[in-house]
Amino acid sequence: MKVTVKILRYNPEKDKRPRYHTYHVEAEPTDRVLDVLEKIKGYQDGSLSFRRSCAHGICGSDAMRINGMNRLACKTLIKDLHTDKIVIEPLLGLPLIKDLIVDMKPFFENYQRVMPYLVNNEPAPLRERLQSPEERERYDDTTKCILCAACTTSCPSFWSNGQYVGPAAIVNAHRFIFDSRDRAAGERLRILSDQFGVYRCHTIFNCTLACPREIQITKAIGEVKRAIATGSLD
Amino acid sequence: MNIHQYDVVIVGAGGAGLMAALQASKTAVTAVISKLYPTRSHTGTAQGGVGAALGNLEEDHPEWHTYDTVKGSDYLGDQDAIEFMCNEAVPAVYELEHMGLPFSRTPDGRIAQRPFGGHTNNVTGKPVRRSCYAADRTGHMILQTLYQQCIKNNVNFFDEFQVLDLLVVNGVAQGVVAIELATSEIHVFHANAVVFATGGFGRIWKITSNAYSNTGDGVAIALRRGIPLEDMEFFQFHPTGIYKLGILITEGVRGEGGILVNDKGERFMEHYAPRVKDLASRDVVSRAMYLEIREGRGINGKDYLYLDVRPETVNKYAALDGRTFPDGRPYQVSGEELLAKLPDIIDFCRTYLGVDPIEQPMPVQPTAHYAMGGIPTNIYGQVLMDEKNNILPGFYAAGEAACVSVHGANRLGTNSLLDLLVFGKHAGLHAAQYARDTQFQTLPKDAADFARQQLDRLQNCDKGTEKLSDITEEMKVTMMDHVGVFRTEEGMNMALNKIRELKQRYWNLKLDDCGKVFNTDLLNAWEIGNLLDLAEVTAASALARKESRGAHAREDFPKRDDKNWLKHTLAWLKDGEIRLRYKPVVITKYQPKERVY
């Protein structure tokens, strides 16, 4: 099938502001949007710039706006868009560098603010620390995060103030807060209860819709809010 | 030009690089340079688990793991290194758990383990549960956990910096040259120790499980700097890639009881590996699949087969095999249990194929997956310069970029994650100690020139005529057809000529992007140059080896020949020509014998 691809392009060395360019590409309905981008780069304009690596939804490189939704280009098939007209734009809320590439530094800085690592200073046993399957299940959903930023850059609260840690950071805090082996839940909850923490979330659910890993993000944020409110992790 | 000085510079931020960084940064001033944000690295796509004889579900021993790995390597692995790795496996997995890795758990709260190809109970010969897993996301969890620990320990990262060259001064490694993607500025990292953990190069082949970024940058740089590459003819084709896409379907699917079937509905692995059947080594299974397809028994006569993990199929064959749970009950699974154990696989199939593996079989074909060969090292990650194992002081390699050699002619599943943990750690430790005890050499003024010349030569090509995408495609198809699962002298000669032609055409490229900000056009071109060099070395090493062993299967020399070929290949690039020499395999406890599964 023939698809029409409109891409918002920007070269800081040449352009004053981003402009749309339209490309016509022959594609299979089962092609990924990433395949279409590769075809344009390979055969029409090698200067088209975007990030990509694993091409099957695990590395998190190629989050972008596709027909208005934040998605991974490698996890979106043409047929699933139900149209032969595709509009591709960079993520919102992060500084634009070039074409579909945005500056990820602010995103990773927010992530680092929530202590995204296990804290447990008790002497480790010779073998593994025990954790029941139920305890492991408690935080399973939030271990799936690939830090693609699709959620955070779909969040109107983040758009309005980039100091908001954003859904991805809260997801990664949740992953440790509810891990039975961790001992720093209190500190993380303190960080997330400040003015740039969880209360900037107004349960809009954009993040949940955007997540390519189908993490129940709004629910996870709700659980963190409840833990702050009740002082309990149960 | 920007000049930085560190004790240790680590290139690559996948599992091996991050593990090295964690260790080195404890005692030495360390920087990590990576062309990707660390969590984008290909380690994250590993699925089925990391091998360690914890014995959480049944009797197991590091000695059994050692023997299985030696046998899996078709006796080409160095047995001292294999024994070291398998002994270190147990503490390495516990260390990861203590760092917070969310392993799946047994009912009594221990790390869960599943069977994997080639891992056996050495007494009964039956599959053993040795692969420590986190659903089918083990690599993702390892990568995330190691990155988290690096943040906790304030490791210095230079994200989105592409390494271009290794600096060697007075016969010792003294750092690297890199380009900052966002600006095209050249940076020199002056360091007393350099660790290459740059991963593999599976993008040489058409059907591949490898990421776009797996272009063997570090391996190609080492080659250009006069370091030989070891055993490059041994490249693993994983049996179960998603048809046409190559996306990996973990061997864990077969570990959980899935089976391969042909067009007649036969479980054909019974004929090729009567004892362990679908859980034979990857080279054995991939060859069986090619033979089935060649005999016309591919699905609908095409070049793929089915991987069937529907609960009714699993339960039927588990009963036929007499498979049991550890407590002796007959093995039975439900769709829900499979979904819990293999969630990502099921998601991939639903997304890319519109197939639900709980209800339909998955179309699969062998996919280029893992480089057994690479930069030769010892167990401390020190890079070896020749067949006498002389080292290049200050230069280290670990992970898929390196060849220790623990995988020999064929790697067992779960041993890649193990390799990067164990040797990443030891490379980091050794590099830090060495760097602290060493004085910096003065860098020459032209340190960045060789790197810059390579880019300038490509960027001047806006007058050229060749398209990068054409050259890439021709390389991938040629290598898939002629230097893939089965090989012949004629085919490999053809491939070698083709690669040499492509290398000529490569210097006549026409690039579209002449800018400095994220010039992915230029950097992709440089990466393809690496793949072309490595494709040539692979084909030349394979052409010379006149036997079949592990992943190197020659139709014109179908037998293993220990008398003439029980030796490692070393390949140098000198004045544009490939020179081959050989070195002996280290054999300690296990004399080579015929390999049957």
CB contact under 8 A, B103 and A126: no
Measure in Å the smallest separation between the Cα of B270 and chain A Cα atoms.
Answer: 32
Q: What's the confidence (pLDDT) of residue B1?
A: 79
- In a 3-state reduction of DSSP, which class is residue B7? strand
Q: Which residues in chain B touch residue A109, judged by CB atoms under 8 angstroms apart?
A: none
Per-residue model confidence as pLDDT tens digits over B464-502: 999 999 999 999 999 999 999 999 999 999 999 999 999
In this structure, are residues B287 and B550 in contact, taking their beta carbons and an 8 Å threshold?
no
Nearest to B104 among A52, A136, A176 (CB): A136
Question: In a 3-state reduction of DSSP, which class is residue B431?
Answer: helix
Percentage helix, strand, coil for chain B under 3-state DSSP, each rounded to 5: 40, 25, 40
Side-chain half-sphere exposure of B267, counting CA atoms within 13 A: 20
Percent of residues in chain A assigned helix, strand, coil, to nearest 5 = 35, 15, 45
Q: What pLDDT does B326 receive?
A: 85
Q: Is A52 on the interface with B (CB under 8 A)?
A: yes
Is residue B500 annotated as part of the catalytic site, yes or no?
A: no
Cβ neighbours of B107 in A, within 8 Å: 132-133
Contact B175, B188 (CB under 8 A): yes
In 3-state terms, what secondary structure has residue B119? strand
A228/chain B closest Cα distance in angstroms: 23
Cβ atoms within 10 Å, residue B324: 12
* Substitution target from B520, B521, B522, B527 for chain A, most A beta carbons within 10 A: B520
Residue A122 sits at the chain B interface (C-beta within 8 Å)? no
Q: Is B468 an interface residue toward A (CB < 8 Å)? A: yes
Identify the DSSP state of B546.
-
> Least CB-CB distance to B211: which of A13, A59, A126?
A59
What are the structure tokens assigned to A193, written together?
């209860």
Is A14–B515 a contact, with Cβ atoms under 8 angstroms apart? yes
Residue B513 φ/ψ, nearest 5 degrees: -105, 120
The pLDDT assigned to B461 comes to 60
Cβ neighbours, 10 Å, residue A137? 13
Assign B395 to helix, strand or coil: strand
In the structure encoding, which two tokens stand for residue B20, read together? Answer: 């090295």
**CA–CA distance, B355 with B361 (Å, rounded to integer):** 8
> Coil, strand or helix: which one is A109?
helix
* Structure-token pair, residue B222: 């080492």
Task: Note the residue count of chain A.
Answer: 234
Instruction: Map residue B475 onto helix, strand or coil.
Output: helix
Residue owning tokens 């409109």? A6
User: Tokens 């002389």 identify what position?
Assistant: B390
Is B515 within 8 Å of A47 when comparing Cβ atoms?
yes
> Distance between alpha carbon A75 and the CA centroid of its chain, in Å?
13
Q: Chain B contact for A49, CB < 8 A?
A: yes
**A142: its two tokens:** 């939030």
Task: Please check whether residue A112 touches B, CB under 8 A.
Answer: yes
Which amino acid belongs to residue B376? P
| B349 CA: distance to closest CA in chain A (Å) | 11
Q: Which residues pair with B195 in a beta bridge?
A: B10, B396
Rounded CA gap, B314 and B316, in Å? 6
Helices B415-436 & B15-27 angle (0-180, nearest 10): 30
Would you state the pLDDT for residue B48? 92
Token match 């290139």: residue? B11
For B340, the 3-state DSSP assignment is helix
| Per-residue tokens: B66 | 């050692």
Helices (H), chain A: 33-43, 105-113, 133-138, 156-160, 166-177, 185-192, 206-210, 217-230
| Residues sharing a CB contact under 8 Å with residue B160, sequence separation 6 or more, in sequence order | B34, B35, B36, B37, B180, B181, B182
Q: Is B207 on the interface with A (CB under 8 A)?
A: no
Q: Using an 8 Å Cβ cutoff, are B11 and B222 in contact?
A: no
- Tell me how crowded residue B336 is: count the other CB atoms within 10 A of its CB: 10
Of B254, B282, B411, B487, the active-site residue reads: B282
User: Nearest to residue B93, comparing CAs of B65, B132, B66?
Assistant: B132
Q: How many angstroms separate the CA atoms of A78 and A1, rounded? A: 10
pLDDT category at A234 given cuts 50, 70, 90 is confident
pLDDT of residue B174: 98
Global pTM value:
0.97
Of A11, A124, A143, the CB nearest to B515: A11
- B41 with A133: Cβ contact below 8 A: no
Helices B489-506 and B520-544 cross at an angle (nearest 10°) of 150
Torsion angle in degrees (nearest 10) through CA of B70, B75, B81, B86: 0
A60 has a chain B CB within 8 A of its CB: yes
User: Tell me: the pLDDT tens digits for A181-192?
Assistant: 999 999 999 999
**Among A230, A154, A159, A158, residue whose Cα is nearest residue A198:** A158
Chain centroid to CA B149: 23
Contact between B235 and B371 (Cβ < 8 Å)? yes
Question: Bridge-partner residues for A38, per DSSP?
Answer: none
Task: Please report residues of B whose CB lies closer than 8 A to that of A143.
Answer: 102, 134, 137, 141, 144
Low-confidence ranges of chain B (pLDDT < 50): none
B558/A contact by beta carbon, under 8 A = no
Closest to A222 (Cα-Cα) out of A211, A212, A214, A230: A230
Predicted local confidence at residue B463, as pLDDT: 81
Which chain B residues contact residue A112 at CB under 8 A?
151
